[in-house]
Amino acid sequence: QVSLPNPEYEILFKRIKKLESLNQQLLSENETLKRLLNEKLTDEQDHLKLVMEIAKMK
């Protein structure tokens, strides 16, 4: 078993937590995009809403 000095452990732990958070955010955005793409676009207004939602995610 490898033991890291406390400061190194804390840095790695914080980085892992940040990456996990970013991953959750991306998964959520992906689900939103899937939902939007599965909705039927009935008119130009719906199409515009979809484009705006996608643009907000960038």
Segment 1-20 shows an average pLDDT of 86
**Model pLDDT for residues 24-58, shown as the tens digit of each residue:** 999 999 998 888 777 766 677 777 887 888 888 76
Q: Is the whole model's pTM more than 0.85, yes or no?
A: no
In the chain, which residue ranges form alpha helices assigned H by DSSP?
6-38, 44-56
What does the alpha-carbon distance between residue 50 and residue 34 come to, in Å, rounded to a whole number?
A: 11
